[in-house]
């Protein structure tokens, strides 16, 4: 008796029987020009948000820290804050404390990303610990 072995038949699409979702996904993956458009759109959104942010910082500086923490998906504690930085390299993270226009500021730089976080007026010393991808800042 002869033995037969099954041969798997793979179905190949020539594009005419592909669904619109598959075609859209393929276009998204192959569209290198879209990365530049997305980057410029993000830059425009950040820039357009700076004016209202500065205005609100002038009239309600205590609320600005809450907004910044929300923007970074972090948490504000009574004695500090926590910001998730999963995937960021330690040498790309820079945290400095200083003053801008008489207000204590904590400057967070992660690569090209930079944010100035206003600190409460009573803060004198700041300590930071990076644990499990979360930056924990205490004062």
User: Do 97 and 139 belong together in one domain?
Assistant: yes
CA distances, 17 to each of 8, 9, 21, 86 (Å): 21, 17, 12, 40
User: Do 120 and 98 belong together in one domain?
Assistant: yes
Q: What's the domain range around 97?
A: 62-139
Going by C-beta distance under 8 Å and a sequence separation of 6 or more, which residues neighbour residue 113?
Answer: none
- Domain of 89, CATH number, reads 2.60.40
CA distances, 18 to each of 8, 23, 72 (Å): 21, 7, 39
Q: Please write the tens of the pLDDT for every residue from 13-29.
A: 666 777 778 778 877 77
User: Do 22 and 90 belong together in one domain?
Assistant: no
User: Do 66 and 19 belong together in one domain?
Assistant: no
Residue listed under structure tokens 């390299």: 89
The number of angstroms, rounded, from the C-alpha of 135 to the middle of its chain's C-alpha atoms is 13
Residue listed under structure tokens 């569209």: 31
Q: Please write the tens of the pLDDT for every residue from 103-128.
A: 788 899 998 888 888 888 778 889 99
User: Do 39 and 68 belong together in one domain?
Assistant: no
| Domain membership flag for residue 100 | yes
Q: Can you give the pTM of this predicted structure?
A: 0.55
User: Do 69 and 109 belong together in one domain?
Assistant: yes
């Amino acid at each position: 008796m002869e033995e037969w072995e099954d041969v798997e038949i793979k179905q190949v699409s020539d594009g005419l029987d592909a669904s619109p979702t598959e075609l859209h996904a393929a276009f998204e993956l192959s569209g290198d020009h879209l990365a530049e458009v997305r980057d410029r759109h993000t830059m425009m959104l950040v820039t357009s948000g700076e004016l209202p942010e500065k205005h609100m910082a002038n009239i309600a500086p205590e609320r600005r820290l809450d907004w910044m923490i929300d923007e970074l998906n972090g948490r504000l504690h009574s004695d500090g804050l926590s910001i998730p930085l999963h995937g960021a390299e330690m040498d790309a993270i820079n945290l400095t404390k200083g003053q801008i226009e008489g207000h204590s500021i904590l400057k967070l730089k992660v690569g090209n990303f930079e944010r100035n976080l206003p600190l409460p007026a009573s803060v004198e010393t700041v300590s930071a610990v990076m644990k499990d991808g979360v930056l924990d800042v205490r004062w």
